[in-house]
Amino acid sequence: MSRVEDFLTQEEELDIVQAILEAEKKTSGEIRVHIEAHTRLDHFERAKEVFHLLKMDNTKDENGVIIYVAVNDRKFAIYGDRGIDKVVPTNFWDTTRDTIETHFKKGNYKQGLIDGILRAGKELETHFPWYHGNENELSDEISKG
């Protein structure tokens, strides 16, 4: 098995998907997690690339966010779409990043992702609240590369 397959158990993945569903209840923002073994690119640039490959830039309000994890590199990045960048301060993702990083340093990957997702949802809620008729535009499943 690869490190990607060992990173989270199936049960942990389900818990993370549940956190995405919970976070998206109060925001029109769309959150995804992508996990892969390694990248030769800068991790933020790879997150941006995966964001586009997953067609996350096709949301109506341009308010998708991806949490990208390169398991073997022991790195992660958070990338948000143009609609988010237009309305939030430059340090908008710092608290989400710090939340994830604190858990990851202790090897608590599942909890880091869950707390990061919930934090991102709370942050997005301020600028992109859920509204009646809001559709879930993207899959909530974890993607892997």
Q: Does pLDDT of 1 surpass 50?
A: no
DSSP 58: G
Q: Does pLDDT of 2 surpass 80?
A: no
Q: Widest CA span of the chain, in angstroms?
A: 43
pTM of the model: 0.94
Dihedral in degrees, nearest 10, Cα atoms 101, 142, 26, 83: 80
| Residue 43 CA: distances (Å) to CA of 17, 31, 34, 49 | 22, 18, 12, 10
Q: What is the pLDDT of residues 96-138, one digit of tens each?
A: 999 999 999 999 999 999 999 999 999 999 999 988 778 888 9
